[in-house]
Structure 1
Amino acid sequence: MRVFRWDEHSKDEFYSEQVKILFYAIYTTTNHLGTMASFVQDRDVKKHLIEIWLQLLGTMITDADWRMRQYVPTVEEYMETAIVSFTLAPILLPASYFVGQTLLASVVNGQEYNELFRLMGTCCRLLNDIQGFERESSEGKLDSVSLRVLHSDGSMSIEAAKESIRRSVASCRKDLLRLVLKEDSVVPRACRELFWNMCKICHFFYSHTDAFSSPTEMVSTVNAVIHEPLKLEIRDLSLPVQSEK
């Protein structure tokens, strides 16, 4: 796969023009962000940003291989891949370099930073699976809901599986908040809050429906934030204020 060669990608022809466009979008954007992040952090972080994309694409290859072989993974196998394939890493992890805090390589590669990502990714992926179950099932895709039902040998219904997942989300959310508020953390607070804010965004998208993929669900919210003017309540100070007797 050409993207895994990165700077050596020019040795072979592209499979199609669409592949070429997608590759160069990833390649140029990641290199550009890497250069800016390296300047902000005063060290080379481009390699980390490239690794983020390689890990993501690796999980997508695994997903495609499972579908082609009609392989049914365990819930644990699925989650290990699905947390990464949910595509939050290329969005959030580069951003952590731009919040005005120094992020050492030892911190980025450390247990706490990776646990923050795992907990956030688990919450977001499970919320997505609950709301996207019907659509993905109609497309022949497996997720954490269908896998729980399949591996229960008929002892768990779809609703029971969803309820079990909701409990897992609540537990992960508590553990994530505990890490975010931790006093002696090696991860800067501003970086930890990125993980918490992303978790809240996913709750907003998936609390009642799959609002992320809906063309209309978020329209009113987007308009309220971007297009609609702020409505301020202005008190008429010219009117006398009556004192209470």
Structure 2
Amino acid sequence: MFQLDSNFSVFQGIRHIMHQQALRAPTIYSKHIRKRCPAIHNEDLFLFSRQDFNICQAQYQKELEQLERWNEQSATAYGSEEVEILFTALYNTVNEVAAKAYIEQGRCVKHLLVSLWVEMLTSFMREMDSWSDETPPSVDEYLSFAWLSISCRSCILTSTHFLGIKLSEDMVTSPEFTNLCRHVSFVARLLNDLQTFKREEEERKLNSVILMQASHKDGGGISEEDAIREIKKMVEFNRRKLLHMVFQRNGSIVPRECKDVFWKTSKTAYYLYSSGDEFTSPQEMMEDMKSLIYKPLELHALATS
């Protein structure tokens, strides 16, 4: 990514342009000024000024080289058709959602949407990088980015802007909102891990159950059943924390309508991962949706004695 050195601002660049003009055309000074300032032709000052300018010029050349390289990479498309499709779809979706949210909220939320996607994609990268690390992360280190990669935060924060209530930026970025996101994301992530750890162990992917077992190896290790039990305790802890925050009134700035979204999301996670991985392989869920949408409701008469 192209970055400017923080020590070289635009205003400093303008100052350096003025200095180089003075260095290259010293005769513009009048003889009266030279008489008043005997150091005006001091060779040491000229050498020092030229050295300072050369340092700055080298920095500008480096930045220009980076900028030109970035521009060439952009001009040669995205590297693959798949990346171009994904980027275009994401770009258009963010702009479309931001435009609709502006109508609902009366303010621009595009920067929030972009930051949510950057945050989530960064967590994906951290998770992928951890796969190749020789030393696996601890459970806490894993959860520090895995709660973001489950994508609950981006989904919820986007949808809450369409509940028919006004949400300020301070409210959406408040610690209370973040903690609600964190607890529901922990619930979803850990429930997912409980149902997928066998498959992910074969695929050499990270999973809290696997890492829980690995973290106890120095002390003799724990069984798979004990690791599952510990993860279930963490699920229940975060579920209770979430429930407490949902019904908390004193000191709360998050509207109840938003809190209900968090609670319903946790219930959805239980539905998806109660007996399998219905997110990856939606077998029962597909049947439930077919029943909900297509099958007529059959009412059976109550048996009379």
The TM tier, using the shorter chain, reads 0.7 to 0.9
1:93 is aligned to 2:160: no
**Does the CA-based 8 Å contact 2:152-2:181 persist in structure 1?**
no
Does the CA-based 8 Å contact 2:246-2:259 persist in structure 1? yes
Higher helix share: 2
Could you say which residue in structure 2 is the equivalent of 1:19?
83
- How far residue 97 of structure 1 moved from its aligned partner, in angstroms, is 0.4
- Structure 1 counterpart of 2:127: 63
Distance 1:18 1:69 in 2: 27
Residues of 2 paired with 1:74 and 1:26: CA distance?
A: 32
TM-score by length of 1: 0.88
Higher relative contact order (Cα pairs below 8 Å, separated by 6+ residues): 1
Deviation at 1:166, TM superposition (A): 0.7
What do you get for the CA RMSD once the two structures are aligned? Answer: 2.0
> For 1:164, which of 216, 230, 241 is the aligned residue?
230
Q: Secondary structure at the match of 2:283?
A: coil
Q: Which of 173, 180, 186 matches 1:109?
A: 173
How many Å separate the matches in 2 of 1:41 and 1:215?
A: 35
Taking a change above 3 Å as real, the CA distance of residues 47 and 104 of structure 1, as seen in their structure-2 partners, is same
Determine the structure 2 residue equivalent to 1:190: 257
Q: 1:25 deviation in Å?
A: 0.9
**Percent of aligned pairs sharing the same letter:** 35
Distance 1:69 1:171 in 2: 30
**Residue of structure 2 in register with 1:31 after alignment:** 95
Equivalent residue for 1:201?
268
| Structure 2: distance between partners of 1:70 and 1:35 | 45
- How far 1:138 moved relative to its partner? 0.7
More moved, 109-118 vs 224-233? 224-233
- Distance in 1 (CA, whole Å) between partners of 2:268 and 2:282 is 17
- 1:229 corresponding residue in structure 2: 296
Preserved CA contact (<8 Å) 2:157 2:172: no
| Whole-angstrom CA distance in 1 between matches of 2:149 and 2:114 | 15
Deviation readout 1:91-146 (Å, 9 max, x if unpaired): 22100100111111111111100000000000000000000000100101121101
Shift of the 12–111 alpha-carbon distance from structure 1 to 2, 3 Å rule, reads: farther
Counterpart residue type for residue 222 of structure 1: M
User: Structure 2 vs 1, CA of residues 12 and 190 (structure 1 numbering), >3 Å: closer, same or farther?
Assistant: farther
* TM-score, length basis structure 2: 0.71
In the alignment, structure 2 segments of 5+ residues that lack a partner are 3-70
Amino acid at match of 2:261: L
* Corresponding residue number in structure 1 for 2:206: 142
- 1:41-87 CA distances to partner (integer Å, 9 max, x unpaired)? 11111110111100010011111212233441111110011000112
Question: What residue identity is the alignment partner of 1:137?
Answer: E
Q: 1:67–1:40: structure 2 CA closer, same or farther, 3 Å change rule? A: same
1:210-225 mapped onto 2 (5 Å cutoff): 210-225=277-292
**Distance in 2, Cα, partners of 1:228 & 1:187:** 39
Report the 3-state secondary structure (helix = DSSP H, G, I; strand = E; otherwise coil) of the residue aligned with 2:216.
coil
Pairs within 5 Å for 1:35-54 = 35-54=99-118
User: Within 2, Cα distance between the matches of 1:20 and 1:95?
Assistant: 26
Displacement after TM superposition at 1:159 (Å) = 1.0
